[in-house]
Amino acid sequence: FNFTVVATDSATGATCTGSAPFTVVVVCPTITVNPASLPGGTDGTAYAQNLTATGGTGPYTFAVTLGALPTGLSLSAAGALTGTPTAGEFTFTVTATDTTTNCTGSRAYTVRICQVITLSAVPTCATNGSAYTTTITPSAGTAPFTFGVTGTLPTGTTLDGATGVLSGTLTAAGQFTFTITATDANGCAGSQAYTVNVLGMTPA
């Protein structure tokens, strides 16, 4: 800020003045918007994250200054990002303003809201000694997918992590419970728990 100060001496009975120019530089502190990144969400599932700021005096107000929030979400002046979003990838910038100094800090975010991914059913009954083949098919998402399993697959079968094909020749009777997770190209995932009953030996 550039300005000139004029001093007037009235005690001498005359209007004597003196002046001098001044320059004042107001340096704002570095204000950081937190967190560094925001987690993704799921279409139709409630979402809630709190944004904060550091580096200034505070209190702070928050606003979206570039881009657009995920559809269905809103950002309060206090930094609460809440709502029920719809699927898509959204890029936006949030700016925090220090209401004491009017200094600001901004951070850009990209948030992916995933579609709900469900997985197809599998045959729940099989016979020991027989071939077992089924393909796990995701209902939504972006190919290619990767498939993983937790729990215990029917003995003699394996899951192809690239194709979702569960296959093999059954070698033991029993009840087998496992969960398969499919993750799409964008990191969106869906899981399904399965129980397969393998009955006694196949007659010769």
- Give the pLDDT of residue 160: 98
pLDDT digit string, tens, across residues 50-61:
999 999 999 999
Read off the pLDDT band of 16 (50, 70, 90): confident
pLDDT digit string, tens, across residues 192-203:
999 999 998 655
Helix/strand/coil (H/E/C) assignment for every residue in the chain? CEEEEEEEECCCCCCEEEEEEEECCCCCCCCEEECCCCCCEECCCCEEEECEEECCCCCEEEEEEEECCCCCEEECCCCEEEECCCCEEEEEEEEEEECCCCCEEEEEEEEEEECCCCECCCCCEEEECCEEEEECCECCCCCCCEEEEEECCCCCEEECCCCCEEEEECCCCEEEEEEEEEECCCCCEEEEEEEEEEEEECCC
